[in-house]
Amino acid sequence: MGNNSQVARKKAMTAQIVKLAWRNLWRNKIRTGIMLASMVFGLMGVVTMMGFLSGMYVSMIDNAIAWQTSHVQVQNKRYLEDPDINEVIVNPAALYSELDRLPQVSAYSARVVADGMVASARANRGIRINGVNVTDEAAVTPIAAHIEQGTWLPETGRYPVVVSQKTAERLRLSLGSKVVLTFSDVNKDVTGAAFRVRGIYRSPSSSFDDANLYVRQQELSKLAGVEGVHEIAVLLDASQSGDSFDNQGAELVAQALMKVSSTQNQIRDWQQVQPMLATIISQMGVSNGVILLIFVTAMGFGIINIMLMSVFERTREFGVLMAVGMVKSKVFLLILLESCLLGVTGAALGLLGSFAVIALLGQTGIPLGSMSEGLGAFGVDTTLYPVLKTGEYFGVFLIVVVASMLASLYPARQILKLRPVDAMSHKH
């Protein structure tokens, strides 16, 4: 019982010190208010910036997955080393049946790919010719929804081709224009045919647009004399693929496919297909960290400054506290708490504001305007939606609070060095 009441009194004492710290914090309302305002607006700026950057990376990654890598890809190992048209996927039937069976797979598209040339009457360019199954491809990539003119590849009609807007501009093509596609067949002989432009697409990535066009698989296979496919792109269910930074779902599917696949095939998740995406993800943490570090350092100096002012102008008061029997550890706790409460209040208000800004921009989006041209090369959308995870808000909160506590250490130390008489003889 004696022990219990001792604990209760200790708690009451701590509550008393918290109360004292809170009231001390608001002694100079203007000074505390200005510091809080600078923390709040600074945090809103920093957090919005972090959300903006994350949004940019998310957009980049999501677009890369949607258009280029999908979640999982299968190729023949030798095809990856040297994309020879003869190096088709070994025993694709086993893969198809596994893909049909796996519940987390939403769609897959098997492609015949030929590197060749596209020529109009005016010019020609090197290009990757994707021979696709019309419905499968439309289920795996968003291409059908990104046709700017005309339509996605029709099931009927002779030799339709869908080219990008960029290719159309370069080769001065319009709907109905005729282009000649040339490439090597399985016997290494040059072959080709005239195709008619049925659709013009535009993806978020200008470099992707530069390099890809689409034809129907039957026609390409026949022209090239290929039996089989070169690439299977697999899209997972949105609920199964995790968020933009997480490839665990993809890894699991890749592992399942490996079990049934011939060892001559290579099965890769999206981070393996484009290692740059993994680099971007780790890089993102660093850039957000640097922004946060700069802000927290600036804020820390601000807090040191006002804690120094507020503590030194009360030197005598601390002397009195020590004289009437407040132990140094409690005086220290008092100063630490004042700074900590400042940090907690500033961080809470700042993050609340940031949350509101990010939620608002999440609705409206940030139009990139003229910047979108340059960022288009990296596959960033023209409108960005800033994102920040709950964990990141929490992390920022914690860092701000810890930094504000650290900022009080120096002023607190200066006070604790004094004897009560010296502190009390301090005049202002």
Partner 1 sequence: MSIEISQLSKTYNQESDFPVHAVKSLDLTIEQGEFVAVMGPSGSGKTTLLNMIGGIDTPTSGSVLIDSENICELDDKALIAFRRDHVGFIFQDYSLLPVLTALENVEFVMQLQGLSEKVCRARASELLTMVGLGEQMHKVPSKLSGGQQQRVAVARALAPRPRFVMADEPTANLDAKSTSELLDIMQSLNEKEGTTFIFSTHDQRVIKRAKRVIVFEDGKLTEDKQQ
Closer by beta carbon to partner 1, 9 or else 172 = 9
Going from the C-alpha of 147 to that of each of 116, 120, 127, the distances in angstroms are: 23, 20, 19
How far is the C-alpha of 200 from the C-alpha of 167, rounded, in Å? 9
Q: Is 138 in the site for partner 1 (CB under 8 A)?
A: no
Closer by beta carbon to partner 1, 196 or else 328 = 328
Closer by beta carbon to partner 1, 338 or else 381 = 338
How far is the C-alpha of 27 from the C-alpha of 238, rounded, in Å? 53
Beta strands 72-76 and 231-236: pairing type?
antiparallel
Q: Is 7 in the site for partner 1 (CB under 8 A)?
A: no
The DSSP line for 8-25 is: HHHHHHHHHHHHHHHHHH
Is 79:264 a contact under the CB 8 Å cutoff? no
Q: Is 37 in the site for partner 1 (CB under 8 A)?
A: no
* CA nearest neighbour of 229 among 98, 72, 75: 75
How far is the C-alpha of 11 from the C-alpha of 303, rounded, in Å? 28
Length of the chain: 428
Q: Is 424 in the site for partner 1 (CB under 8 A)?
A: yes
Given 136, 281, 420, 426, the residue binding partner 1 (CB under 8 A): 420
Q: Is 419 in the site for partner 1 (CB under 8 A)?
A: yes
Shortest Å, Cβ 402 to partner 1: 26
Going from the C-alpha of 143 to that of each of 56, 125, 148, 152, 241, the distances in angstroms are: 21, 21, 10, 8, 20
Encoding tokens for residue 225?
């004399």
Shortest Å, Cβ 408 to partner 1: 18
Judge residue 341's burial from the number of C-beta atoms within 10 Å of its C-beta, 0-12 exposed, 13-18 middle, 19 or more buried. buried
The span from the first CA to the last CA of the chain, in angstroms, equals 48
Given 23, 222, 389, 413, the residue binding partner 1 (CB under 8 A): 23
Q: CA geometry: angle at 298 spanning 311 and 288, to 5°? A: 140
Closer by beta carbon to partner 1, 5 or else 364 = 5
Q: Is 9 in the site for partner 1 (CB under 8 A)?
A: yes
Closer by beta carbon to partner 1, 2 or else 176 = 2
**Considering only residues 309-328, where is the footprint of partner 1 by CB under 8 A?**
316-317, 320-328
* CA nearest neighbour of 370 among 382, 384, 379: 382
Shortest Å, Cβ 314 to partner 1: 9
Q: What is the CA radius of gyration of the chain?
A: 32
Shortest Å, Cβ 416 to partner 1: 11
Shortest Å, Cβ 306 to partner 1: 17
Residues in binding contact with partner 1, number by CB under 8 A: 28
**Considering only residues 81-100, where is the footprint of partner 1 by CB under 8 A?**
none
Given 18, 20, 258, 366, the residue binding partner 1 (CB under 8 A): 20
Q: Is 24 in the site for partner 1 (CB under 8 A)?
A: yes
Sequence-distant (6+) residues with CB within 8 A of 387 are: 51, 54, 55, 58, 358, 362
Phi-psi region of 389 (alpha: psi -120 to 50; beta: other; left: phi over 0): beta
Shortest Å, Cβ 337 to partner 1: 13
Closer by beta carbon to partner 1, 5 or else 263 = 5
**Considering only residues 330-389, where is the footprint of partner 1 by CB under 8 A?**
330
Given 1, 2, 12, 415, the residue binding partner 1 (CB under 8 A): 12
Q: Is 31 in the site for partner 1 (CB under 8 A)?
A: no
Which span sits near partner 1 by CB under 8 A: 64-72, 125-133, 211-219, 418-426?
Answer: 418-426
Q: Is 144 in the site for partner 1 (CB under 8 A)?
A: no
Closer by beta carbon to partner 1, 10 or else 222 = 10
Shortest Å, Cβ 22 to partner 1: 9
Q: Which residues in 185-223 belong to E strands, given as ranges?
A: 190-201, 212-216
Q: Is 18 in the site for partner 1 (CB under 8 A)?
A: no
Closer by beta carbon to partner 1, 8 or else 293 = 8
Q: State phi, psi for 103 to the nearest 5 degrees.
A: -70, -25
Closer by beta carbon to partner 1, 74 or else 412 = 412
Which span sits near partner 1 by CB under 8 A: 19-27, 191-199, 349-357, 398-406?
Answer: 19-27
Q: What is the DSSP letter of 261?
A: S
* CA nearest neighbour of 67 among 220, 206, 229: 206
Judge residue 359's burial from the number of C-beta atoms within 10 Å of its C-beta, 0-12 exposed, 13-18 middle, 19 or more buried. exposed
Q: Which spans of this chain sit near partner 1 (rule: CB under 8 A)?
A: 5-6, 8-10, 12-13, 16, 20, 23-24, 27, 316-317, 320-328, 330, 419-421, 424
